[in-house]
Amino acid sequence: MSAVADALSNAKEEIFIADWWLSPEIYLKRPALRGDYWRLDKVLQRKSEEGVKVFVLLYKEVEMAIGINSFYSKQRLVRNGNDNIKVMRHPQHAKSGVFLWAHHEKLVIVDQSIAFLGGIDLCYGRWDDSKHRLTDLGSLIHSAITPTKRKKTSSSPSGEFPFISVSKSNSKLYMPDLIVDSPSTAAQELARPMSLPAASSSLQVPQPKDFFKQNTPEFERKSLMATIKQGIKGKGKHLAKLSYAPGELQNGPATISELDDVVDDLDGSAKFWVGKDYVNFIVKDFNNLEEPFDDLVDRTTTPRMPWHDMAVCVQNATARDVARHFIQRWNAAKNEMAKQNYTCPYLLPKAYVDCSLKSNFLQAKSQNVTCQVLRSVSAWSCGFIEPDIVEQSIHEAYVDCIAKAQHYIYIENQFFISLPRNNLNTLNQIAEALFTRIVRAYKEKSVFRVYVVMPLLPAFEGEIGQSNGASIQAITHWNYASICRGKDGLLNRLKDHGIPDPSVYISFYGLRTHSVLCGEPVTELIYVHSKLMIVDDKIVICGSANINDRSLLGKRDSEVAVIIEVSTCRYYNHLLSL
């Protein structure tokens, strides 16, 4: 996201953004040491005031099914009435009859010369780095209160009944320490100790039932609020909202106008994930997105779920191709929904003549490669005049590259839902192509490996075996059915074909990490969201398409990917012995 921020800040003419989900309040560079300067909505507002045209295409969700609140995202981006920012949401469900499928691509295009594409939405929960941190308490020190509640993770989303342990030697309950480079009166008031009656014995106080919204006992919360209300003025409210869980402040959510400078007083001590950006998808799904700086979960009991994802930056002619996809979608949506709205313009693609990039904003070294843009699109998603025209070039590229692989295939994907050709529950041919290639390697007695990395659980709120776990169980069922359960599972098919140990040729992996949260060890899965395939260190397919029918058939979700081939390659044979 840092590279996206740099590209946006260098925009001179126009910015195109297409997203499945866009959260205006996310920070593109972290920690937010410059206040709100790198917040997405601020960056776009700043560029629009400089005269840069900004065009944003958002997926218009079915609100009963998905709570991403694209209407709020649109209102937030256009709230200042700047004519240089245009936002459209698509599709119109009732008019088009499209209720099940989505615009799933994630694109950022600058001046039709630089394009980012891959699996990373500009939304909550996506920013991460190689450390994959599980905790983010900022500068708070929870020394006086020691939670004895079991931690809430994807393995135990419900946890146990919460208790607070109060030592009999404690005569004062200290507010969590707040460290600010330039202390204000409000900040000092927040850090001031508050006297409470000494406990005569060890006491366990049950928490309120709604543990996500209120994480202090009722008598403590009322006393704390009496002190806080006296000292907090103006921006002190924002400091408190960043320092405490959502239910601890009783003045209600901040209005949009109050959110503008919410991080300015936290220079040097800001969290990496502010408010709803700190997320554990299985423990708690998103809600109340119009309150971006209210936490979804209690950070002292719930580790965040780290995010593993992949995207690429392309330039020059390939960026022109990605821009033409956006322009085709924009013009189709304009023609369908805003034909008579003359303030919403049609877009024109730039020519391929003189499309070389004048300067390289990326610090990393770039390389010349052979590159082609791939898509999954059809009439509903891209405005084809002929309703029967379908493009599924991502699917075709996957199958072709698998068939031509010589040494190894490395796959990272959010899903693996693909069954054999004769099973009509799925229609994509990824599993069939892998089966054919592995059988060929077995017959030729050649060394050939397939590595598949995917999430250990789907990112849906709920718990396996419980009434709220239907979505997790459904996705897990189809993943297992495709891999190893039933006669159509890939591993079982290989065994039935005479391969005694399929793991010699193909293996599946997940990612997990561990840390310490409030003095207790915690572990959580790393959610693999990337959509990537590497073949023989020569070919890469990277984009937004999952391995399932939604993404690959073309008539369903719209997707964009890119296939990259390097002309020269140094292949390391020792990898084959791993």
User: Would you please indicate which residues are annotated as catalytic (active-site) residues?
Assistant: 104, 106, 111, 529, 531, 536
Residue appearing with tokens 């969201």: 529
Exposed, middle or buried by CB within 10 Å (0-12, 13-18, 19+), for 78?
Answer: middle
Exposed, middle or buried by CB within 10 Å (0-12, 13-18, 19+), for 456?
Answer: middle
Name the pairing type of β-strands 172-173 and 163-166. unpaired
Give kind and range of the element (H or E) at residue 345. Answer: none
Beta bridge partners of 541: 533, 563
Peptide bond into 183 cis (omega under 30): no
Half-sphere exposure of 315 (CA within 13 A, CB side): 14
**Nearby residues of 305 by Cβ (< 8 Å), 6 or more positions away:** 125, 154, 279, 280, 281, 282, 459, 524, 525, 526, 527
**What order do you get walking across the sheet with 511-517 strand by strand?**
307-308, 520-528, 511-517
> What DSSP line would sit under 469-493, residue for residue?
GHHHHHHHHHHHHHHTSSTTSHHHH
Residue appearing with tokens 């779920």: 305
> What DSSP line would sit under 487-522, residue for residue?
TTSHHHHHHHTT-S-GGGTEEEE-EEEEEEETTEEE
- Selection from 253, 261, 293 nearest residue 277 by Cα: 293
| Residues in the chain, total | 578
Give kind and range of the element (H or E) at residue 220. Answer: helix 218-231
* Helical packing angle, 40-49 and 2-9, nearest 10°: 10
Sign of the CA dihedral running 38, 42, 48, 51: negative
The C-alpha atoms of residue 551 and residue 342 are separated, in whole angstroms, by: 34
145-152 contacts at long range (C-beta below 8 A, 24 or more positions apart): 145/173, 146/518, 146/519, 147/300, 147/301, 147/518, 148/204, 149/207, 149/301, 151/301, 151/302, 151/303, 151/517, 151/520, 151/522, 152/280, 152/283, 152/297, 152/298, 152/301, 152/302
